[in-house]
């Protein structure tokens, strides 16, 4: 069965397909829907964290909770997603967002590079790069 193990499963998305889908969903502000592309074992890494907190969120429940906190606390005025650039199992995009951080009523121009890793058709790792 060794030969068969190396054949891609018909239903499994390629890195390019996952990347294109993520860009399409995020461009429309459909961040919760984009999480359907994530593996249960997703690891999500921020550029930094407040003192005593971790940069890393592990597992779909933790990453969804982080996303829900973000969605609850930000009003999104516009989203621009550029890319993807795809190389093997990895891809990169940029996010440029005009948001208001609701607790402070503060409007922010966010810019970040995001890198993703895909395994078995699902996103297993994401890391965000932005100025602290």
**3-state secondary structure at position 83:** strand
Residues 43, 76, 113, 124: which binds a copy of itself (CB under 8 A)?
Answer: 113
Q: Which is nearer to a copy of itself, 37 or 117 (CB)?
A: 117
Q: Is 27 in the site for a copy of itself (CB under 8 A)?
A: no
What's the token pair of residue 44? 């999500």
Site for a copy of itself in 50-89 (CB under 8 A): 82-83, 85-89
- The SS3 call for residue 125 is strand
CB 84 within 8 A of CB 103: no
Residue with Cβ nearer a copy of itself (1 or 131): 131
**Which listed range, 6-14, 28-36, 66-74, 123-131, lies at the site for a copy of itself (CB under 8 A)?**
123-131
Q: Is the omega angle on the peptide bond into residue 65 within 30 degrees of 0, that is, cis?
A: no
């Amino acid at each position: 069965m060794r030969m068969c193990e190396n054949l891609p499963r018909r239903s499994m998305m390629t890195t390019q397909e996952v990347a294109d889908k993520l860009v399409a969903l995020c461009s429309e502000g459909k961040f919760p829907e984009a999480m359907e592309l994530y593996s249960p074992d997703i690891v999500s890494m921020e550029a930094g964290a407040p003192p005593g907190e971790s940069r890393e969120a592990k597992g779909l429940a933790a990453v969804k909770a982080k996303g829900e906190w973000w969605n609850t606390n930000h009003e999104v005025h516009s989203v621009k997603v550029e890319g993807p650039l795809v190389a093997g199992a990895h891809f990169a995009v940029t996010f440029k967002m005009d948001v208001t951080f609701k607790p402070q009523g503060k409007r922010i121009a966010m810019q970040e590079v995001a890198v993703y890793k895909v395994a078995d058709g699902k996103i297993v790792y994401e890391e965000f790069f932005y100025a602290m």
